Chain A
Amino acid sequence: NAGVTQTPKFQVLKTGQSMTLQCAQDMNHEYMSWYRQDPGMGLRLIHYSVGAGITDQGEVPNGYNVSRSTTEDFPLRLLSAAPSQTSVYFCTSSYGRSTDTQYFGPGTRLTVL
């Protein structure tokens, strides 16, 4: 199993540009989520999904959209990038939501100029 994969690993955007961060898992996990990590602030939940066709907002959803058309994929869309979205983004998956290990992808380091 590849586990959780994320692309790209690095990305530089200009303010106002849009892009999609890709995330895929091959463990048949129902639950997937996106976090952003900023220095001194730990990991903050952006959006999550408990299964295909179901998504919900986390702590910091503004400026981001998600969709879950398949069990395997959970892309994160930045609609109009802002410098405040400069961060490292992690995608996770787990079998369930409340009591299971979260497996993290390798992360995408995004810089918005």
Chain B
Amino acid sequence: GQQVMQIPQYQHVQEGEDFTTYCNSSTTLSNIQWYKQRPGGHPVFLIQLVKSGEVKKQKRLTFQFGEAKKNSSLHITATQTTDVGTYFCAGRRDMRFGAGTRLTVKP
């Protein structure tokens, strides 16, 4: 099955700084999903990308799917304390999640 690697494992930023997490697969993905898990909570769906080179935005969050459909990224502009949590990517077809990037934000 596909292996989904996510980097970095941890990221600590000052409030207002940007943040990016990357997801890389050893095989071509049919689609990719991103989830956010707040501390003590459960993962919540953010978005799904399907097309090669696709870019989607949700307010300060920008999601990209690589041209080869083997990588994806999530970029947060001007982080806020509400962005704290762990962000996971998931290769949906094989239902495998990356290990996640834990984001902490210093006010």
Contacts and interface: CB of A to CB of B under 8 A. Distances in A.
Interface in A54-74: 58-59
A43 B87 CA distance: 12
B43 A99 contact: no
A102 interface: yes
Given A42-B88, A99-B31, A90 B95 contact: no
A93 to B, nearest CB: 12
A42 B21 CA distance: 15
* A interface residue count range (under 10 / 10 to 19 / 20 to 34 / 35 or more): 20 to 34
Interface in B82-106: 88, 90, 92-93, 95-100
Contact of B45 (A42, A98, A103): A103
A105 B92 CA distance: 18
B27 interface: no
8 contacts: A35-B97, A42-B6, A42-B99, A42-B100, A43-B100, A90-B42, A97-B95, A99-B48
Interface of A: 33, 35, 40-45, 48, 58-59, 90, 97-99, 101-107
Interface of B: 1, 6, 9, 30-31, 33, 35, 41-45, 48, 50, 88, 90, 92-93, 95-100
